Amino acid sequence: MMYPHTISRFILVVLVMSVCSVEEVQSSSLCQSPGFPRWTFDQSHIFPQDRPLARPEDGKALPDGRLVVADERFGLYLIEPNNSHRPFGRFIEVGYVHTPPDPAGGVQAVFLEHDTRHLLVGDIYSGKIYRVDTQTEETRLIYDHPYGVNSVYRDRNGTIWFTQSTNNIEARGKEDLWASVNLPVPTGAVFKLQGSGEDFAEKAEEVANNLYFANGITFDKTEKYMYVSESMMDRVLRFRVDVESGSVSESEVYQNVYVPDNLAVDSDNNLWIASFVGNKVMVVDNTCRAVHTVFQATSTSHSDFLKEWTKRSHLGQPRNEVLTPEAFNPLPNFLTGLFFSPNFDTVYFTGLGNAILTYAMSTGR
């Protein structure tokens, strides 16, 4: 026999279970991730095939079909539509030097402004930010940060946002940078440098700090959200931003991803993430915030490296000694970023080697 209060509880439980079941069905039916390509690696995707580049960590496609990538020797390197290539920009005229081992040129950040004419270029060893006219190749030093600059973004109002991975001064730019990879420290930060046209503030303002190796930075297409890779914490952070006032608020962990590096947003506002030690590129879809692997290069030696890196990371042990050529096999070198063609029909993967990779967006492999 069921007493009245027992019957009431039973009915309540059934109702709650029914509501939960309906919510689960609705959420799964309403949130359908879009389709994404899936690529693997083979030598045919290496570009250019003669491998003329030197540490092309980042790059951009210009509206006229030319590609410009970072190059530690010259600052930038140009790849023409006919596949000819040469150094680009006048970096030597503004004091850029690459005479390894000391000093070594550290240009790696490349950002195409909204005017699609000017490039911003950041140096991770010296902290210098340059502005390059892609039509005349005029190169200007617009800011000299006390520490290395990893990645840059300029919003529609003219403010430049950039990441500082660690407190690596120019005199020890390379050594201190890699020391913070070896044993992470919370000296990463995000800065904003207010500007308008060709004029910029004298000093950048810190907007986020205490990060373990702040790395790639980008904004969504509405410029309401800023994404930042915190590489040594295996996560991508998202900040609410008002580009009119320059205010930053509501930080959150947007996604946990293994050693995220550079970031990019596609035509549908999905966030693409390059994984430095993962030999892979992932996409966080804008619909469900689910992670999709779109590219991965695997090998036995890379799998062994990944296991050792993971173990050392969890135990707080030094890691740089496992960053060997076998670690990124079969890629030309470690994968660091990506960029798209102007019409988003091609994606280019960048890295620390002597070439980039190119894939057609319409035909995944």
Structure confidence at residue 149 (pLDDT): 98
In this predicted structure, what is the pLDDT of residue 33? 80
Q: Which amino acid is at 71?
A: D
Q: Output the pLDDT for position 331.
A: 96
Neighbour-count burial of 143, counting CB atoms closer than 10 A to its CB (0-12 exposed, 13-18 middle, 19+ buried): buried
What pLDDT band is residue 25 in, cutting at 50, 70 and 90? very low
Average pLDDT over residues 214-239: 98
Closest CA to 274 of 188, 198, 347: 347
Residue percentage of the chain with pLDDT more than 90: 87
pLDDT level of residue 30 (50, 70, 90 thresholds): confident
State yes or no: pLDDT of 51 exceeds 60: yes
pLDDT at 9: 44
Looking at residue 35, what is its pLDDT?
87
In this structure, which long-range contacts are made by residues 277-282, counting pairs with CB atoms below 8 Å and at least 24 apart in sequence?
277/305, 277/306, 277/309, 277/327, 277/334, 278/306, 278/335, 279/328, 279/331, 279/335, 280/335, 281/335, 281/338, 281/349, 282/257
- The predicted structure's pLDDT at residue 104: 86
Tens digit of each residue's pLDDT (9 = 90 or more) over 101-119:
888 899 999 999 999 999 9
Residue 67, pLDDT > 70, answer: yes
As a whole number, mean pLDDT of residues 15-43 equals 61
- Quote the mean pLDDT of the chain: 91
Asked if the model's pLDDT at residue 269 lies above 50, the reply is yes
Cα→Cα distances 296→122, 235, 335, Å: 27, 19, 10
Long-range Cβ contacts of 263-267 (<8 Å, 24+ apart): 263/151, 263/216, 263/217, 263/218, 263/227, 263/229, 263/236, 263/337, 264/218, 264/337, 264/338, 264/339, 264/340, 265/218, 265/219, 265/220, 265/221, 266/340, 266/344, 267/340, 267/344
Q: What is the pLDDT of residue 318?
A: 97
State yes or no: pLDDT of 4 exceeds 70: no
pLDDT digit string (tens) for 298-355? 999 999 999 999 999 999 999 999 999 999 999 999 999 999 999 999 999 999 999 9
